[in-house]
A and B are shown apart, each in its own frame.
Chain A
């Protein structure tokens, strides 16, 4: 016997009213958070904002939309004590079967987008990782893809071939003293 069957009269009505209020509230919250900008949305958002923020429900459900982003890749060049340069492409080392893969890819994207924020920590970590090379400095690079057509693919090309990308050196940061 569930609790509802034992509740009658005003207590039952109150319980159903409370549950209905919660359901309506949560359903509206789902809609408000995903809805595009509008007069109604702007008016409703402040009402729902604390609830949405507290439970991490703020999301727009805009996967790969409206446009699919062009390809990008994070690379870095380690400069060793002898002045030699070593190029590394972290995404090549990651296994796509690991759930951490997408987190690490996000991390590299963040470094490219906000190198001033994430650069120092990332370089410090990379310097530790490549300690065997005796690194002096690391240059962080962002690779941005250009348009890659089916014709190019049929000609045996890859999206990251030099003619389809631009490579930008974001920042060179010296390794912290060990």
Chain B
């Protein structure tokens, strides 16, 4: 009996795994890996980061334009001759190293600012983002002595945005795509872009922010100022961040300086660990945004704080944004635009207009094939109408004026439609002329 036991095969757990078992293990591993990196999700959090980062860069570098040659010119703050005296890593590159005439600086700066604007608007995003990255790296490398924390963060976030398939939502690229579909059929509703790679890049940005906070806290824990709770006091004593009011408050209630110091370290330590959990994420995000708002308003680090907050946007859940969108739609209520389906110009302009309606707040009705119970055909022959939830009907210019304020994708038109007196003064006759001549357009 014992012999037979000794000769019997080993228990299953100890047996060398069969190809089938290995395949199952590999499959489980792959499933876990996909769960971490490759979920099929939209680019929405990255798009918010894109818009914020590109707009901030446009403002930041735009305001540096008067100092272009001082900051980055050959005879400026860091002359090229001086830079060439130092040993240079061949991987450290800048397009400014190759410029020889002043117009090249100006042309490049102009192009770079245009690319920042295009990236913020999401126009030709797939390639302008690379030009923005190259420009940013070039400026930083041309004069490394004037770069600071935010330039490093920008480079990190921009590279991730370059990897990512951005420009698929909240962008002019998306508007173009939707408009093309709606020109064929006004009721077309192209699906929201989702991709495993979009999620992977969102994850990369999340990891970037977590790494940043972790090491930021770790470095602070080495210092006596942070251990002793004096760091925040010392920051406000610095000439760069001097704030007389805050200093007075902290001097009279010094415990506040201790709380602020330890609170900063606590949030920075907790963030990389608790940001991943569903329950703790909102609190961690709120904490991180709170400390950056403090940096912005108390230390005047507006650019740095804004860029950091945009990095944190990678942790936004799609469900939160959907809930926000649903709340907005409920608040505004359903709107129906009634147009002339026999007019090609009307259909083309409707396609263009509806392409900006990302939340799909506007319903449409062609009165030729589907007459409205509220607005007569005679009135509709003269102008387009918008029917509101309370059954009011606004015609022509007033319809557009009402919509641009209530559809977030059209907010960029608000300045045009809401100039006191002037908008209505010119808007009504222009609309009426177009409506009267629409058959010829």
Contact = CB atoms under 8 A, between A and B. Distances in A.
Contacts of A97: 300, 302
Contact of B156 (A30, A101, A145): A30
B114 interface: no
Contact of A53 (B92, B193, B234): B92
Nearest to A30: B211
- The majority secondary structure among interface residues of chain B is helix
Give the interface residue-count category, chain A: 35 or more
B148 A102 contact: yes
B193 A55 contact: no
A68 B231 contact: yes
Give the interface residue-count category, chain B: 35 or more
Contact of A118 (B77, B197, B204, B221): B77
B89 interface: yes
A63 B223 CA distance: 12
A178 to B, nearest CB: 16
A20 B226 CA distance: 38
A113 B239 CA distance: 16
B225 A154 contact: no
Nearest to A13: B30
B91 A23 contact: no
Given A150-B233, A150-B254, A16 B226 contact: no
Contact of B242 (A23, A30, A70, A159): A159
A67 B225 contact: yes
B248 interface: yes
A100 interface: yes
Contacts of B303: 99, 102
A122 B207 CA distance: 41
Most buried by B among A23, A49, A65, A91: A65
B29 to A, nearest CB: 12
A84 interface: no
B300 A54 contact: no
B170 to A, nearest CB: 18
B219 A2 contact: no
Contact of A62 (B137, B215, B251): B215
A160 interface: yes
B38 interface: yes
A153 interface: yes
Contact of B216 (A26, A30, A65, A159): A65
A156 B244 CA distance: 11
A57 B155 contact: yes
B91 A54 contact: yes
A10 interface: no
B367 interface: no
A108 to B, nearest CB: 10
Contacts of B76: 121
Contact of A99 (B92, B193, B250, B302): B302
B268 to A, nearest CB: 10
Interface string A55-87: 111111111111111111100000000000000
A174 to B, nearest CB: 19
A26 B207 CA distance: 10
A55 B194 contact: no
Contact of B219 (A3, A20, A60): A60
A8 interface: no
Contacts of A70: 234, 238
Given A59-B156, A73-B239, A160-B239, A100 B67 contact: yes
Nearest to B210: A30
B219 A154 contact: no
Contacts of A60: 215, 219
Most buried by A among B133, B156, B204, B231: B156
Interface string B243-268: 01001101110100100000000000
A158 B238 CA distance: 11
Interface of A: 2-4, 16, 19-20, 22-23, 26-27, 30-31, 34-36, 49-50, 53-73, 91, 96-103, 105-107, 110, 117-118, 121-122, 125, 145, 148, 150-151, 153-154, 158-160
Interface of B: 33, 37-38, 40, 59-60, 63-64, 67, 70-71, 75-79, 82, 89, 91-93, 133, 136-137, 140-141, 145-146, 148-149, 151-153, 155-156, 159-160, 163, 193-197, 200, 203-204, 207-208, 211-212, 215-216, 218-226, 231, 233-235, 237-240, 242, 244, 247-248, 250-252, 254, 257, 300-303
12 contacts: A27-B204, A36-B218, A59-B152, A62-B219, A65-B220, A65-B226, A66-B224, A107-B146, A110-B146, A122-B77, A145-B239, A153-B247
